Every structure is written in structure tokens, then in C-alpha cells.
Amino acid sequence: MQKFKVSNLDCANCAAKIESNISKLKEVKYISVNFAESTMFIDTDDIEKVRKVIKDTEPEVEIVDVSEVIKKRKLDSSEKGKIKKEFIGLSLLVLTYLSGIIFLKELRSTPNNIAEHLIFLFLYLVSGYNVLYSAAKKIVKGKLFDEHFLMSLATIGAIAIGQFPEAVGVMIFYQIGEFLQQLSLKRSRNSVKSLLEIKPNYANLKKEGAIIKTTPEEVGAGDIIIVKPGEKIPLDGIITEGNSNVDTSPLTGESVPKVVSQGESVLAGMINITGSLTVEVTRTFENSSIARMLELVESATSKKAETEKFISKFSRYYTPIVVGIALLIAFIPPVLFGASLSIWIYRALVILVISCPCALVISIPLGYFGGIGGASRKGILVKGSNFLDVLTDVKTVVFDKTGTLTKGIFKVTEIVAKNGYNKEDLLRFAAEAEYHSNHPVAHSIRRAYGREIHELDIEDYKEIAGYGVKSRVKGRIVIAGNDRLLHKEEIEHNVCNSESTVVHLAIDNKYAGYIIISDELKEDASDTVRYLRKAGVEKLYMLTGDNRNAAEKISKELKLDGFFADLLPEDKVKTLETIKGRDLKKKIAFVGDGINDAPVIARADVGIAMGALGSDVAIETADVVIMTDTPSKLGTAIRIARKTHKIVWQNIIFALTVKAFFILLGSFGIATMWEAVFGDMGVAIIAIVNSLRVLK
């Protein structure tokens, strides 16, 4: 997949046409053109053929690979200069036009007002040159029905019936509207981009006793960096010296500073507030949390919502239909009823002016873009506009237990030895058997053992997903896992009805006892359930590989609608399918964090992963990533999705209502062309501003 910056793309309808025409190429596997961001995502082996299609569709539009784009500062400077020139040019045009309206009466030396017509014709060509030129090039290629064609047809028609001042006025005010629309759009883009400008600019690399200021990309895993108070942490790593308060809000949206000290992990993008920190880098910048977050947000709008796709198709048919209606209005009354041809042509021209679909085509993707940006500010990464729509309709939420609803920080609370083994032996064997495991339960056992484990003593290791582990330690076969694992290995053992996690042990196929490990609910787990119920989620379930007693305790405490325990990874998928099958029309979300959750995350209508402690596999598979370990952020994500959906439909209804109203007024001769152009541009600007509300 390649990303391109699209320049000279000043028409949202044009963006839709470019995307449609490129999608017809057999060499193109995927294409998404986003007018709100001026970007294009494409998967193709023949980019030159794509460039040719773009030139045929919109000759002024160019694409540049993002890696080749000039430095942002130069682009901004050039853009500011262009805006200034446009403002000065428009100001001069308006002043000249107003002066002409006031003083040209005295130059009417002939009955046909030739002097007035010539001056207004000159002003018309100056103000409308780019619109007329663009329309002419497309007409030559047989491509009609965009906003430039409509505006050209309307104003040329006005000149044909002698309405010179109005034709010039409409073209000038159209240009002013376009200018204001571009300013609003630029502000909208900047508002979203400002949320994402959290990338660290430099790193203080400690090398051979000296501190070297370099880019984060130049630092490798294992290097040592120094982060001073007030600086952004440039890379993911572990603190080796120092302690401080860090602001995690750029990543998580949490405003309360977090206290960190030696041995704890910090992530790129966090801001160091108080003390100096020495950090050992654990990931290169391209693999860091911040880089992954930026990549996800920037590529999110390439996955379009159904509403966006519908409006793109709608706009292709809408304009020709309106032109057809205008032609009927222009000629049927004069032909059938003998009405004045010039009056009805004028009314038809008013309809053409108001009919531009840009308000819809611009504001809808911008609304979704704002929703994605607003969510990212809250520490929620939504990987596509389409997933915002799915979140809006979620009626069932299914949770994993460990690390999602519970803290995933286990603690050994009881050791019960059997058949001649003592507690110390049992804990040692368990720690050695679990030496290579990354499961939170294994971490808690090794932490409880607290002594050095010699890796060479472990001759063989096998992790059995959903069951436990089987290792050869100093020549002895050690099995550590759940009740199912011992049944699988046909080992007789005691039944333990604990409401906590139970790890059974067998040594050389003989039962040795069990270890009870306790976990705690997350502080906001109860709030999560309450928020989701309030948001209209009808059913809440929990899936877990843990034993039934532990699952039942959590389920009752949180007042869930049900739970499913003792599940293997493949059982979780089957269970989700069963829950989904109860009502196929209702959307279902799954929230998890582990590697074994990846299959069920992928199968849900919207899969959600915990980003802070979650596995890379789960995060890559998920449609939505919560950058904190707070499940209550799911409620926030649903609220943002619904607000985005509401604003998008407000824009659709508002734009279509106003346009229909003006078409009606124009048909009855109540609205003039000036009012129509103000109405068209006003709708576009109001819709853009309305889209910005989702950022709050």
C-alpha cells in the first residue's frame, strides 16, 4: 500500500471521480482518495497508468509520494503566500465590481449598453477564467456535470439573457465562497493534524560518555537515551535510572500524570514532567507505540464508511438529474404555456447554481476524519471510518476476562502440596516449568519464587494454548496448567473449587499439588458495565479460559448477562458465533488483549484490543485499539462514534433540505442567482464547521 499527497484537488466531487475512474483499472487492487486530507492510498503495480487516469480526469491534479514531499515548513510558507495572493486578488475584483455597479450607468452611451457589457464581460473573464478553463477541458473530453460545468453553464446563460452584472457577481461570489470554503477546510485539517503532532523531534543519545542530539529514527534497540524534564520521550524503553511524573495524555487521553521509576516501561510520545530519566530503548522508532499510533490514525480514513460510499455514488447521479430538471423548467413552461423564455431560463440557472453537491462530498468524510481524530485524542485508535459506523450500532459486547476486565496482575495466594512434595518444591518446579512463558500467571509464579532460574536446567519446553505448559526440568517432566490439562494427560488429581485461578502441577506424571493465584477487577470495570448499559448496549458477556468458579465470581460482581468459562482459543470463536447467531442483525463487539484473543477479535463485527498491555498480534488484528488498560474507554468510543454519525447525518439532511428549498424558490422565481450562490457556499461552510464539533 502506497500513500500519496494529492495537490490541486480543490473539488470534493472531483476526488470522487478520480477514485471511481482509478478503481476501474485492473492493475489497481485498492484505491481511496480522501479530499478532506488531500491524500490517496493505493495498492497497484503500475502507478504511471494511475497518473495518466488522473490527468485525463482532472488535468490540474498531481500526486506525490509522501516520502518525496518537501519539508512541512516550506509547504506551509508556500501555502500562506498563495492564500495571501488569492485574498488580495479577490478583494480587488470585488472593489472593481462594486465600483462598476455604482458608476457604470453614466457610461451607457448606446441603447444596448455596449460599454457596460464590455467592462462586465472583462470582469467575468478575469473572475471566472479558471472555472471556465477547467469546464472547457472536461467538455472536450466528454466529461460534464461537475461544479465548474454547472457554474459556467449558469453564468453563460445569464449573459445570454442580458444579465451581465448578475453573471459577474455570481462568479465573483462563487470564488469568494470557494476561498472561504478552502480556509474552513484548511482549519479543519489543521485541527485534526494538531492532535497527531505528538511525534518526538529528537533524542538525547548517550554514547561513549557523551550526549548526542539525534533523530529518534537513528536510535537502535538497546541504546541508552536521556530524557530531561519537559522533553517528549522519543522511544519506547525501560527506565534504568531516575524517577519522574510523566504526562501520558498524548497517547492515552488521561490528564492525570503517571509516576514512573526505575524498572518501569515508558512509551514514545509521553512527556517527562519533573525528573531526569535514563532509558534503555526496547524498540526502534518505526516499531514504537507512537509510530504505530500515527500510522493507524493516518491510514484510518482510507477505510470508508458506507455513508461516504453512498454519497460518492449519489453525487455522480445527483448533478445530471438536477441539470435535467433545470432544462425542463427552462423550456416546458415557454413551449407549453407561452411563458417568457428569459424568465424561465433565469429560474433554471438559479437551480443550476444551487445544485453543486460539494457541501455533502466535503463535510461527510471530514466528519468521519474529525471523529477518528477526536477518538485518538482520548487514547482510542479507530482504524477506519467504517468501524465508527459499526460502533454506533453495537448492541452486544463480549469481554475477555484476564487483562481486560481484571488487572492481569496475578499474585500467588495459596500453595497446596500433595503426594510427598512440600510448598517450596512445588513453587520451584512451577517457576522452572513456566520459565519461557509470557502469560501473566507465569510471571506471578516466577515473581513469587523470587530466585534465579538456570535456563540450562530446562531441556525442553512446550506451551499448550488454553491448557498450560509441559517442560523437562533437570530430566523430570513437569506439567503446569489447568484442570483440563491434567485430564488430557490422564493424571489423577484433586478437584479445587476455588473462585481464583488454579494452576495444577504434575511431576513425572504424578500429581504434586496446586497453586492458587488471585487477580483483581480493574477499578473502572463496574463503570464500564454501567456506561455501556446507559449507552443502550443490550447484552454483556464474558469469555475466559479460566475455571468456572473464577468466571462466575467476576460475572456476578459485574452483573453481566452471562459468562463462558474453561474455553480454548478456538472455543472462544465458536462461542462468539453462538452469541452472534441469536440475532444476526445486531452488531457485536469483542474486547480482549492476549494472543489467544486474536481469532475472536477478528471474527467480531468490531474487534477491540487493549493497547497498553495487549499483545502485538491482538493490536494488529483489532479494528479499534484502546491505548490504556481502561475498558471504560469503550463507552467513550461508542459515544464518539454516535456523535460522529449524528453530525454526518445532520450535514446530509441540512444540505439536501436547503438545496431543495432553494430549488423550490428558484422554480417560482423568488430566489435570485446571488441568493443561490450564497446558499450553496453557505451550506458548504456551515457543514464543514459543524463537522469540527466532533473534535470536542
Q: Which residues are catalytic?
A: 400
Report d(CA 512, CA 425) in Å as an integer.
9
Helix residue ranges, H only, 161-219: 164-196
Q: Give the span between the Cα atoms of 146 and 320, in whole angstroms.
A: 9
Alpha helices (runs of H) in 27-71, residue ranges in sequence order: 47-57
End-to-end CA distance of the chain: 32
The answer to whether the CB of 35 falls within 8 A of the CB of 9 is yes
Sheet holding 258-260, edge to edge: 258-260, 244-247, 271-272
The DSSP letter of residue 465 is T
- Spatial neighbors of 394 by CB under 8 A, at least 6 apart, are 537, 587, 588, 589, 605, 606, 638
Please, which residues bridge with residue 244 across strands? Answer: 260
Q: Is 260 helix (H, G, I), strand (E, B) or coil?
A: strand
DSSP-based three-state secondary structure for 653: helix
Grouping H, G, I as helix, E, B as strand and the rest as coil, residue 532 is helix
In 3D space, the residue among 275, 6, 150 whose CA is nearest the CA of residue 659 turns out to be 150
Please state, as a whole number, how many other Cβ atoms lie within 10 Å of the Cβ of residue 474.
12
Cα dist from 564 to 107, 261, 401, whole Å: 89, 39, 10
Q: At what angle do helices 306-337 and 341-354 cross, to 10 degrees?
A: 180
In three-state secondary structure terms, 3 is strand
Task: Fill in the amino acid letter for 229.
Answer: P
- Look up residue 157 and give its three cell numbers: 446563460
Where do the H-state alpha helices sit in 338-419?
341-354, 358-377, 385-392
Instruction: Decide: residue 254, CB within 10 A, 0-12 exposed, 13-18 middle, 19+ buried.
Output: middle
Please report the sign of the dihedral spanned by the C-alpha atoms of residue 543, residue 544, residue 549, residue 553.
negative
CB 273 within 8 A of CB 302: no
Residue 435, helix vs strand vs coil? coil
Q: State how far the Cα of 458 lies from the Cα of 523, in Å rounded to an integer.
A: 38
DSSP 616-640: HHHHHH-SEEESSS-TTHHHHHHHH
Q: Rg for the chain (alpha carbons), in Å?
A: 33
Cell triple for residue 690? 459543524
| Alpha carbon separation from 451 to 37, 410, 411, 428 (Å, rounded) | 55, 18, 16, 9
Closest CA to 374 of 691, 61, 45: 691
Length, in residues, of the chain: 696
Q: Hey, what's the cell of 240?
A: 534504568
